[in-house]
Amino acid sequence: MNRFSSRVNRMGFSQTFVMSNKVREMKAKGIDVISLTLGEPDFDVPDMIKKAAFDAIIENYSHYSPVPGFLELREAVAYKLKRDNNLSYQPTQICVSNGAKQSILNVLCSIINEGDEVILPAPYWVSYDEMVKMLGGVPVYVETSIDTDFKITAEQLEKAINHKTKALLYSSPCNPSGSYYTRAELQSLANVIVQHPNITVISDEIYEFTNYDGEHCSMAEFPEVYEQTAVINGMSKAFAMTGWRIGYSACPEWLAKACEKIQGQMTSGANTMAQRASITALKTDPKEFAYMIDEFKKRRDLVFNLLKEVPGFKVNYPKSAFYFFPDVSYYFGKTMDGKTIENADDFAMLLLDKAHVGTVGGVSFGNANCIRFSYATSEKDLIEAMRRIKEYLSSVY
């Protein structure tokens, strides 16, 4: 008897968590594994943010907050959006949630009916696909490759749109590819979107600060599509606050109200202490946190150079986020240690078993040719991980 809802049956487990659990099991058996599976900064939360959380406890911020978040926090989000993105939002357009993940789900829940189509430029963040399916929507994948730096064109977007299209959902900077859309590229996509007023663009900008070129652009900056855009951002990546679970959406007011309605029935709102601390984080000059970006950039360059020595990897130069997404299709069809490699997931599993380096295969990111690994870990581990991969692959090929 299948006791599950069709909703759950439609969904898959997060491949990222599958691989990180496997790493954990191997470590528990005493195997020395280096995990590059999870995308979270390895820094501690900066002290002034921690202090603000302590203060919130002492000041008894222990009751329910307003469903969309404390007004002061929504004002701080509006301040940040003006300061960093030149975007004008009122606090009534902002909804603070338990992480950007919930912010995205709130928006999707607000607009997607059974059978509605959501365009996902591939590769995409693993949860987009599953969230759309969970809601009975239909993901429409727009393929890219390493040769186009994993970005879609306006022509591809236009071709993917039909009367069922409800949303375009992407991250820029992108997890997993590390690419970001330039202002000119986004303008060309905006030119298409504005022709289709029923489409909402969900612009996930959670990696905004880890843009090493410093050229972040938001779809909402184009006035002609501002009313069609939901900006998603949060505290996890910029302030190393993954466990504090604070994200937010900034939307046209009708959509912000819908997110609030959904959130009011699902979670009642986000953790109050973390909300208070987020006010401090957002109001502090981003220069205070630049040391993390500088470090990621150093590691990006280090790994990029080490990857040149790995046989069979085709690598783009990721200009943002903290991931590499090498194309490993060179190995497909080859038999290594008795296993024939059919796709990137097989290859990631082999690297884990034989080289003891945890990565994630690209299938659940919508690209079966690539593997993703995060460089949000120490230089020492990165050097050792690259050494192991190179040594293993050189020994079999």
Ligand X SMILES: Cc1ncc(COP(=O)(O)O)c(C=O)c1O
**204: part of which helix (H) or strand (E)?**
strand 200-204
C-beta atoms surrounding 350 within 10 Å: 18
222 sits near ligand X (criterion: CB under 6 A): no
| Cα separation, 140 vs 397, whole angstroms | 37
Tell which one of 41, 121, 123, 247 touches ligand X (CB under 6 A): 247
358 sits near ligand X (criterion: CB under 6 A): no
DSSP class of residue 198 equals T
Q: How far is CA 197 from CA 60, 107, 161, 203, 219, in A?
A: 45, 16, 12, 16, 15
175 sits near ligand X (criterion: CB under 6 A): yes
Q: How far is the CB of 278 from ligand X (least distance, A)?
A: 11
| Cα separation, 250 vs 94, whole angstroms | 5
The nearer residue to ligand X, 124 or 222, going by C-beta atoms, is 124
171 sits near ligand X (criterion: CB under 6 A): yes
In 70-116, where do the E strands start and end?
A: 94-97
**How many chain residues interact with ligand X (CB under 6 A)?**
13
Cβ atoms 315, 386 nearer than 8 A: no
Q: How far is the CB of 366 from ligand X (least distance, A)?
A: 13
Binding mask 139-168 for ligand X (x = CB under 6 A): ------------------------------
Residues 82-101 that bind ligand X (CB under 6 A): 99-101
Cβ atoms 168, 32 nearer than 8 A: no
Cβ atoms 77, 256 nearer than 8 A: no
Q: How far is the CB of 365 from ligand X (least distance, A)?
A: 10
Residues 39-58 that bind ligand X (CB under 6 A): 39
| Cα separation, 150 vs 146, whole angstroms | 5
The nearer residue to ligand X, 316 or 329, going by C-beta atoms, is 316
The nearer residue to ligand X, 99 or 178, going by C-beta atoms, is 99
Residues 276-335 that bind ligand X (CB under 6 A): none
**259: part of which helix (H) or strand (E)?**
helix 253-266
| Cα separation, 75 vs 384, whole angstroms | 45
Q: How far is the CB of 125 from ligand X (least distance, A)?
A: 4
Residues 188-207 that bind ligand X (CB under 6 A): 204, 206
The nearer residue to ligand X, 329 or 362, going by C-beta atoms, is 362
**394: part of which helix (H) or strand (E)?**
helix 379-396
The nearer residue to ligand X, 274 or 341, going by C-beta atoms, is 274
Q: How far is CA 320 from CA 56, 207, 331, 374, in A?
A: 33, 8, 27, 12
The nearer residue to ligand X, 39 or 362, going by C-beta atoms, is 39
Q: Among all residues, whose Cβ is closest to ligand X?
A: 99
Residues 226-245 that bind ligand X (CB under 6 A): 234, 236, 242
Residues 109-128 that bind ligand X (CB under 6 A): 125
The nearer residue to ligand X, 92 or 242, going by C-beta atoms, is 242
Kindly list the residues in this chain that would bind ligand X in the complex (CB under 6 A). 39, 99-101, 125, 171, 175, 204, 206, 234, 236, 242, 247
